[in-house]
Homo-oligomer: A and B are copies of this chain.
């Protein structure tokens, strides 16, 4: 799961660990603070597989891509005024390999490679890399899962041995799942409608929001 996230980010630019974490937090906006205890082992794993390769520190061109927006820009500013060349510390910058790109595609498309909510959210975030039919299949699959889950939760709602609080929880859960389904329906409708290449189709634009798919609370 982390592998998918990492490869997806590296797809766009070379990054070092810390920055990957930051982007996971606020570019993807989801995936509440992945811990380093997960991140670094994941990077090591991917490197061992040959899916990413580490650009040795010092070799990395200091200009641009590799640095975090915040730290990078500040460092650049400082460099300009204090005329000290910002010799980057022990940063290990990672770059995706062709093999990594293959792996990314596989993780993104193969349903058997994880089907939990987190993975779905991640896949959807990267859905621009998917062919329209695969994308649609992804949405439909998820929808089916949610429909099943909804009926389970609804049956729990029907129980009469629940006190106020337990009941509040299950009802809230059910409502959440229902809204997720509605949201997916919106997305599916968008997929189905003939795709204009023009950025904004007239009816599009506000069907794209609703409730929580559950990428963390």
Contact mask A164-195 → B, CB, 8 Å, 1/0?
11111111111111011001000100000000
Complexed CA–CA distance, A174 and B155 (Å): 28
Do most interface residues of chain A lie in helix, strand or loop, or is the interface mixed? helix
Q: With A26-B152, A156-B27 known to touch, is A179 a contact of B211 (CB < 8 Å)? A: yes
Binds B, one of A37-45, A81-89, A117-125: A117-125
Residues of chain A at the chain B interface (Cβ within 8 Å): 25-30, 32, 117, 120-121, 124-128, 145-146, 149, 152-153, 155-157, 159, 161-177, 179-180, 183, 187, 208-217
State the CA gap A25–B149 with chains docked (Å).
11
Q: Could you say which residues of chain B place their CB within 8 Å of the CB of A177?
A: 212, 217
- Please determine whether A165 and B212 come into contact, CB atoms closer than 8 angstroms: no
Q: Assuming the A-B contacts A124-B168, A166-B125, A170-B30, are A175 and B209 also in contact, with contact meaning beta carbons closer than 8 angstroms in the complex?
A: yes
Interface centre among A30, A149, A155, A165 (most CB of B within 10 A): A165
Q: Which of B29, B127, B166, B172 contacts A213 (CB 8 A)?
A: B172
Q: In this complex, what residue of B is CB-closest to A120?
A: B217
On chain B, the residues within 8 Å of A117 by CB distance are: 216-217
Inter-subunit contact B170/A187 (CB<8 Å): no
Measured CA separation A214–B214 after assembly (Å): 5
In the complex, the 6 A-B pairs of residues with the closest C-beta atoms, listed nearest first:
A176-B212, A29-B156, A29-B170, A117-B217, A127-B165, A212-B212
Q: How far is the CB of A115 from chain B (nearest CB, A)?
A: 11
